[in-house]
Structure 1
Amino acid sequence: MASLSSNELTKGGAVSNVGQALQGKASGVVVTQNSKAPGGSTSIRIRGTNSISGSNDPLYVIDGFPTNNGININPDDIASMDILKDASATAIYGSRGANGVIIITTKRGKTDQNNITYSGYVGTQNPINPFTFWMASNI
């Protein structure tokens, strides 16, 4: 079992999903990017590839509710994350936990307290190639 806090997940730069936040932070968790495009989809494997025809994605449990689509949650909304990668996952969640379980606890509001947090990031997906521009202008 591995546990990560919200500070550990967002440390090291801007991330857009849970997969990018987990990359390199928990042993035994393999995160791969499926496409070369920036912001492309990622896949998470906790216990390797167990099935040829079925899904190898882990089970996500967000605030006690099991789901198969937990990778698109905002990492800034996560308070803590626990990763079950051994027999304890199947003992608790049965066959659904055969590929591992990622338990996500989100941040919650507190009564009589106001808290506003802003996190912003700007980037480009199509950088300008200065070499093409320079070659075209010198011909």
Structure 2
Amino acid sequence: MNAVRSPMAEQLARRMLPSATFVASAGVHRGERDPFVDAVLTEEGLTLGERHPRTMDDLEDDYFDLIVTLAPEAHHAALELTRSLAVDVEYWPMPDPTGAGGTREHIMAAYRDVRERLKARISGRFLPPQAKNAAD
């Protein structure tokens, strides 16, 4: 729903990748902004600003070299969308932290786990070895 994993990935990628890299996130369905995403991004010095969840139809550009999906439903939708296009689609399965229960700290730990997994995947996929060390 473009409210948790994808917006986190977008903000992390914007910070970690060269500024000339176009990064946008969108979901299969429009959801509601998640305050825990704001909290774990703030810990990294990042913010969603005025950004709100959006769908693929909301994107201004529909040409991509690569689409990274983070949930099964999004992956199937991306494959359907790109079946006649020359676009690579990668699936990076990420847990959904919205199901975490318990105390606020337990919930925050689930969101932090996703944030750290995303940082590792972005770094591993896109950064050369010397840049990975600088990002750590």
**TM-score strictly above 0.5:** no
TM-score relative to the length of structure 2: 0.26
- Structure whose CA Rg is larger: 1
Greater strand fraction, Structure 1 or Structure 2: 1
